Amino acid sequence: MKPYCLLLFFAAVLILLIENVYAIGISPGRTTIDISQGTEKSFSVEISNSEAKDMKVLLLVKGELKDFISLSEKELAFSPSESEKEVSVKVNLPDDILSKYGKHVAEVVAIEAPENKVSDETIVGVSMSVVSEIVVNVPYPDEFIEIDLDVVSGGVDEISRFYVSLSNMGEKLVNNIDLKLDILDSDGEVVTQLKKEKVDLAALERKEIGFEWLADVLAGTYKARATARYGNRDAVVEKEFSIGGEAVELILVYVKDFQLGSIAKFNAVVENKGTKEYSTVYFDMIILDEQAGIMDEVKSPTDSLSSGERKEFTGYWDTQGVKSGIYDSRFTLYYGEKKLEKRFKIKVSDNSIEIIGATGMAIASVEPGYNLVNILIAVIVVLFIAVVVLGIIVTKRRKKKKIERGVRIVK
């Protein structure tokens, strides 16, 4: 049997194996209520139907504050054309909550319960739920700083970024908060210490302070420890992170010079940041159709990847009969005995394929008029010179006239 026939056979088997796909989402995942703004608050949560199918969602409130929270809907029915729906949340807290210092939590739970069905002689019932937390922080009468840390780690000799968030959970202004960030290696030895200017935080104010560190260290696991010193107290948070991450890293996946109906060339740029050489490296990308069935598979040839090397791996996808749209895909990069898995969305248009995750894109709605700007700048410069020259001439002529007048008076 030819290799591509074998591939088609496996793809067909996988399509048959996938029986169902369910999806549900909620945003935001957490809402924090500032009690100093009052005990009443309204906001909305968004329930998403990302698989665009008929779906029924039950909504309920749980947690210690459930009696003080009401929802505009208790049940939502989605049709395939409805990708999201908003639900209003009203929070009306009792006055005595102000004497209960600290954190209080409630949960808005969205549940999708597919119908029970029989499969392989087993009754299968799956219930899926997603939770949006509502957090109420009641300020402490004293000074109280909460600290949190977010790490966006880079590779070796790259910038790693640290975001320290400081929240004043007390009722008083806290002055001169001294903030430092220690980076520790796996033995607990301080590799470097980063400092920032002192910070002031008003009651219930939150600030985020960014640190940057050029990781000129070996790949491995490190720990970031942020310390905020205020008065005689320390608020400390620690987080482990890895530099270099996976030894083999997927840098980029792109497709260029594409026309729908032709063969798309998927290029995956891969870098080996470790010290070991891998003799078998390749990628496999499964493209799913709208029902999450396997539509196609893109596979690159196997190649080696030595330490420190960056290489492009290429796979081909025949888009004959493929429609424009957004498709889910499962990308797996195999290197040696290991694998790196990613989920991408593939946006197929008539003349481009975009590989997207959660992305931002800059769009200039009007092209900047460079030429006109340059002309205007030139005009300004010329006019400025003319004004200066004319100013000098006019001043000189006035002086000359004054002198001439003086001579005439003397005569």
Q: Which of residues 294-353 bind other proteins (CB under 8 A)?
A: 341-343
Q: Is 394 in the site for other proteins (CB under 8 A)?
A: yes
Rounded Cα gap, residues 235 and 192, in angstroms: 19
Residue 235, amino acid: A
Q: Which of 356, 400, 401, 403 binds other proteins (CB under 8 A)?
A: 356
- Among residues 126, 53, 42, which one has the least CA distance to residue 86? 42
130: nearest Cα among 257, 30, 274, 213 = 30
Cis previous bond, 94, omega within 30: no
Element (H, E) at 84: strand 84-92
Q: Which is nearer to other proteins, 188 or 368 (CB)?
A: 368
Reading the block at residue 294, the tokens are 């396997």
- Strand pairing class (145-152; 294-299): unpaired
Footprint on residues 37-66 left by other proteins (CB under 8 A)? 46, 48, 50-51
Q: Is 387 in the site for other proteins (CB under 8 A)?
A: yes
Question: Is 118 near other proteins (CB under 8 A)?
Answer: no
Residue 405 binds other proteins (CB under 8 A): no
Residue 32, SS3 per DSSP? strand
Contact between 251 and other proteins (CB under 8 A)? no
Per CB under 8 A, contacts with other proteins among 161-180 are 161, 163
Which of residues 94, 261, 391, 406 is near other proteins by CB under 8 A? 391
Residue 397 CA to residue 409 CA, distance in Å, equals: 18
Which residues inside 133-152 make contact with other proteins, applying CB under 8 A? 133, 150, 152
**Contacts with other proteins in 58-117 (CB under 8 A)?**
107, 109
Residue 368 binds to other proteins (criterion: CB under 8 A): yes
Site stretch for other proteins (CB under 8 A), options 87-95, 223-231, 296-304, 390-398: 390-398
C-alpha distances in angstroms, 20 versus 40, 79, 114, 233, 384?
A: 42, 17, 10, 54, 73
From the CB of 166, what's the least distance to other proteins, in Å? 13
CB of 376 to other proteins, least distance (A): 6
- Asked if 299 and 315 count as a contact pair (C-beta separation under 8 A), the reply is yes
Reading the block at residue 237, the tokens are: 């948070």
- The partner residues of 241 in beta bridges, in order of sequence, read 222
| Stretch in the footprint of other proteins (CB under 8 A) among 139-147, 258-266, 316-324, 387-395 | 387-395
Q: With contacts defined by CB under 8 A, name the span among 22-30, 138-146, 184-192, 220-228 that binds other proteins.
A: 22-30
Residues 6+ apart with CB under 8 A from 140: 101, 102, 169, 170, 171
CA 31 to chain CA centroid, nearest Å: 18
Q: Does 291 bind other proteins (CB under 8 A)?
A: no
How many residues touch other proteins under the rule CB under 8 A: the total is 77
Q: Which of 339, 383, 400, 405 binds other proteins (CB under 8 A)?
A: 383
Q: Does 369 bind other proteins (CB under 8 A)?
A: yes
